[in-house]
Amino acid sequence: MWKIDKTYRQELAPTFDRLFDKLKRLNKHRPLSTGALQKIKEVLFVEWTYNSNGIEGNTLNLRETQLVLQEGITIKGKSLREHFETKNHEAAIHYLYRLVTKNYKLCSKDILALHGLVMRSIEDEFAGRLRNGGVRISGANFIPPNAIKVSQLLEELIVFVTVNPLQLNVVEMATVFHHKFVWMHPFFDGNGRTVRLAMNLLLLKAGFPPAIILKNDRKKYYEALNQANKGNYQKLMLVMCQALERSLNIYLSALPNSDEDYQSITTIVNEPEVPYGQEYVSLLARQGKIDAHKEGRNWVTSKKAIIDYMKSKN
């Protein structure tokens, strides 16, 4: 279960370096002002809830999610379950942040508690409880293990995270944890939302902001999980890195005297210092080779990101 093909490392090494460099920059400015931090969290909590629920089929849009969470408004034409999913996810995020301390260690009790919050008032019979029967996942290229094995497999995964025998960095570990959790599928329902919360326990403890996988990347995300089932982690590592970089960029852009200037690729390629066309810069962004992130369906980057890439090639 724990053999990991690390061939992705050569390709993603510059991306990992960029993420950890950004974390160092962020740490230099900590603690952030209470006002700035609260504003960032308000935005991210709404986006996190909207995207994670949306991946699972919740039809509330971003604005409707904000209204439910911040204004307490009931959205006409949306199901009661979708409203519960929205409020529950926010409650789970708040619980997650209360858990994370410098000496925090991942444990099954906390994962079960997160699942209990995610599924509260939706499937109370199974909320916070491991499955006791078989499941099949639509569109997946594997069958999850027998329910009898789930408890032991979850504990083995937690030991793997704690001991880190393969000496993975925290981004790699969060990615492997994410995949192995989805593979074992420990709950009847709510696995995706729970793991997209739980993986961030690892990242937040290390000082990173939460990695938020976007609803617009749903197809790419599921394809990446299927590739990981075959032992190829390249695509899933990239999905995680891009999700994390977006959150890092949001934090860094909010710092005093920030020089972050992210613009659409269409705008960037018109800069005289940028010798590349839109198609090539878009490819670099998708491959994680430049500092870039998605806003909605569109990639944004900066002139500095292109210049840094050009320097790395010289």
Q: Using CB atoms within 10 A of its CB, is residue 61 exposed (0-12), middle (13-18) or buried (19+)?
A: middle
User: Does residue 298 lie within any of the structural domains?
Assistant: no
- Please give the residue range of the domain that contains residue 79: 33-259
Q: What distance in Å separates the CA atoms of residue 109 and residue 111, rounded to the nearest whole number? A: 6
User: Does residue 250 lie within any of the structural domains?
Assistant: yes
User: Does residue 147 lie within any of the structural domains?
Assistant: yes
User: Does residue 46 lie within any of the structural domains?
Assistant: yes
Whole-model pTM: value is: 0.95
User: Does residue 21 lie within any of the structural domains?
Assistant: no
User: Does residue 223 lie within any of the structural domains?
Assistant: yes
251: domain CATH number is 1.10.3290.10
Among the residue ranges 7-11, 121-125, 294-298, the one predicted with the least confidence is 294-298
User: Does residue 148 lie within any of the structural domains?
Assistant: yes
Q: How many domains does the chain have?
A: 1
- Grade residue 1 by pLDDT with cuts at 50, 70 and 90: low
Query: Tens digits of per-residue pLDDT, 47-85?
Result: 999 999 999 999 999 999 999 999 999 999 999 999 999
115 noted as active-site residue: no
Query: Tens digits of per-residue pLDDT, 221-265?
Result: 999 999 999 999 999 999 999 999 999 999 998 888 777 789 999
Among the residue ranges 90-94, 134-138, 162-166, the one predicted with the least confidence is 134-138
Residues 6+ apart with CB under 8 A from 139: 222
User: Does residue 51 lie within any of the structural domains?
Assistant: yes
Task: Please tell me which residue in 83, 178, 179, 185 is annotated as part of the active site.
Answer: 185
